[in-house]
Structure 1
């Protein structure tokens, strides 16, 4: 089977841009996708993608088209073991979600493939396999503390198995079926949470406050210590910026830090994480289990009679977040808010009946969202297990799939190489 370097398959590659932050002569507005935006864009969330102004003459060569791939070439995180080389496939649903032309950011590169030789989505899965396997790290060098992906070296050294086009499309179709189901789950979770935020706003909790927020919410409450043998641990990188569900965690012996349990909300207290919206709702622990997390978390817990989701939506509220940001102190670049200052906030108390109705709806919705995220984790694990086997052309025997729904069920349990 033919293995070809990516240089043979790429017909166009162009670095991104950043433009300027305000209108100017000869500049037009654009949406600029960064590596940090890949996950949100993949799930249909485009509101946090920066809108900037780029030189009119540079927009045309940088403008993203359906079927393109965006490849992150600078950044990464040595501390988190995250290399450069993340990628985003621009499917047919991506660009219509934007009201402006889309270009990649300056730390990314637009890559376009020769469709007579390779299916673009198949080529994207080759890049994903490179990233997940750790091979992307082989093409990195360090410059002033930033990891840089050596694109030219990658083009010559990274080989992709190129089977007949029909087989490429079958493989891409199997993997895409799993990814599409994951994306549907993400979109349902996002839409559900947006509806709940609107219901929280209707409670008018943060308009003209009359009582201290601490009457309804505890800040850094006392929590029993975790088991000495080890406990779930959540770091700052795992805290989401747009939705409640915490997607990943590790286990380690407790060494201090924040303590929390199911039903608590974690609020980042340090810049720029607080401004970026890093906030999560804890619902992945065993009953009675205590977990630990970063020292840069403030833990919020509902008082008796208050729905456990109430502190989460309070932490997402623009007025409360603005208050917390204004209370930050410290040296430039390392500012943080302490729990006492964040708690110095007044709210209006809804009637018990309205709180109960909100709690009932939020509780049911959070249970449903947690189920969707658990399903997505199972589907992602299945995709990650299939990916290297399919890309290498190895035969895959059909195996029981995770409990999924919809079209992904048949694809997840089948094989393009089944005899």
Structure 2
């Protein structure tokens, strides 16, 4: 229910703002993924299992009936002056027993602890699986942002070429330009339209996949909001769900190891029993004899003593295996974080040069434009300089998005 309410809340906020954020998509993708239903199923299963464990303290009733034929009769007694008669060879014995546990050595409490911890382990496993969805959302979200930046630069270049086309046509009409110059500009504009078509279809596919992931139909022209990401610091805490899984697995082994102590404890309870025998032992005229007793029962088994030492070693080995898995994960996670940090530094170093490159390419374009206007270079040379300046501007926009993606990737790898 909480996940459903969160889904509608995020949907309302998204609609109101007219843009979708990456955090919205992450939450919706998690709520939409079928595996999310496991949380509710695990909780229900745990509740029912704990309820069964609590029933260990309810009175336990057993009834046994035995019927048979006696080949050698039971001892027979009779009162003075009475006739014993021929004994009945058919015999029936009914036994009823009631046991009420007073103390089971901590078995019920331990079993409940194990059930609760096992449920937490299952939830953590689901959390690990759900976390992998974040990477898919990241790839689609930033893929769309990259395409948007490329389309934006194509639009700017198209407008510039369109202005140039008008100017060249006017020059041609005045006999100052060739018809081929007009054709070259037109051909370049058609190339841009082709690229835009390719980008738009790719974007449409990304939006459709993102819609499927988050369970919400998105318009193919939906606007995505660029995330604001704080640069990582050395003090950033690792909050990956795998660490919670390993922690709960260790707790589960500890809970199960408590059984080693439980089996060594005596079990104390109340007992009541009754027996009905037919025919009776002939102490009187009645055909039935009955017997009833009540008292305190205590049972203690030494079987656990022989296995206790080995069980402790097995539990220690199991905990060492889990700890080793955690160490392997942390090692690989640290390696991923190092690579992600290296990507961030690389993108920052590249961006630092983008501004200078754009300035220089702009100067070259202005020079080529002046040369073309004075008949000192061809239209092809001018278009080449225009494309290179636009490429430099586009690269700067792409590098900024890539830096943003690297920062968010670092955040995802660290579980934040």
Q: Give the TM-score normalised by the residue count of structure 1.
A: 0.22
Higher gyration radius (CA): 2
Of structures 1 and 2, the one with the larger relative CO (CA 8 A, separation 6+) is 2
Q: Give the TM-score normalised by the residue count of structure 2.
A: 0.22
